[in-house]
């Protein structure tokens, strides 16, 4: 039984200890080494992942061959390609460990069984997606509102933990610009 996950569930719904034990059975613990992939573009995403330890990222490769990191996920975050997961079509994304990580994997079949057998989990995931949707809305807003330089400073202030744990070129890839330009911004902010 994973403490990280049960704590997280309990933040959103009231579930007894017995039921929490039951719920845990649906998940499988997976250890991922740095740079190893949990999902590869072209495959269908058959799992959704809860990060209990470490740091993952989601990215795709553009026509020009550039990696674009659309998302980071650290402890207590969920990460998956939702569209591929729910619609069973092949994914354009990779999900990869930035650091060695431990995740709890929930397969599509178990996801559906879990929701069916434990109605409290409908509420839990409703809350999770509600939050995730809200966060995505803000992400989208920032894209309109900020210049690339402002995006960096905003990110730096709101997520200092990532600057410690993630190499610069991945930060650049996440913010949607080149490592060269990130380097230039950093130089400017020093002086």
Residues that bind DNA (CB under 7 A): 64, 147-149, 167-169, 176-184, 186-187
Buried b (16+ CB within 10 A) or exposed e, 83-93: ebbeeeeebeb
Q: Which of 62, 98, 100, 83 is nearest to 136 (CA)?
A: 83
Place of tokens 């709101």: 158
Residue 151 beta carbon to DNA: minimum distance, rounded to whole angstroms: 8
Residue 13, Cα to own-chain centre: how many angstroms? 22
Cα of first residue to Cα of last residue in the chain, in angstroms, is 51
Nearer to a copy of itself, 10 or 86 (CB): 86
Residue 62 beta carbon to DNA: minimum distance, rounded to whole angstroms: 9
From the list DNA, a copy of itself, none, which binds 119 (C-beta under 5 to 8 Å, kind-based)?
A: a copy of itself
From the list a copy of itself, DNA, none, which binds 169 (C-beta under 5 to 8 Å, kind-based)?
A: DNA
Residue 160 beta carbon to DNA: minimum distance, rounded to whole angstroms: 16
Nearer to a copy of itself, 31 or 68 (CB): 68
């Amino acid at each position: 039984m994973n403490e990280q996950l049960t704590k997280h569930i309990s933040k959103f719904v009231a579930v007894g200890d017995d039921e929490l034990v039951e719920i845990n059975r649906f998940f499988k613990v997976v250890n991922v080494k740095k740079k190893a992939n949990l999902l590869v573009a072209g495959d269908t995403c058959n799992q959704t992942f809860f990060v209990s330890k470490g740091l993952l990222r989601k990215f795709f490769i553009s026509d020009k061959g550039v990696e674009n990191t659309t998302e980071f996920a650290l402890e207590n975050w969920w990460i998956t390609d939702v569209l591929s997961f729910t619609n069973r079509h092949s994914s354009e994304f990779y999900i990869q460990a930035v650091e060695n990580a431990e995740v709890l994997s929930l397969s599509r079949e178990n996801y559906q069984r879990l929701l069916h057998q434990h109605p409290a989990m409908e509420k839990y995931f409703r809350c999770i997606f509600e939050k995730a949707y809200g966060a995505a809305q803000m992400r989208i807003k920032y894209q309109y509102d900020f210049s690339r330089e402002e995006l960096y400073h905003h990110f730096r202030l709101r997520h200092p933990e990532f600057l410690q744990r993630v190499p610069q070129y991945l930060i650049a890839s996440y913010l949607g610009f080149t490592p060269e330009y990130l380097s230039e911004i950093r130089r400017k902010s020093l002086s």
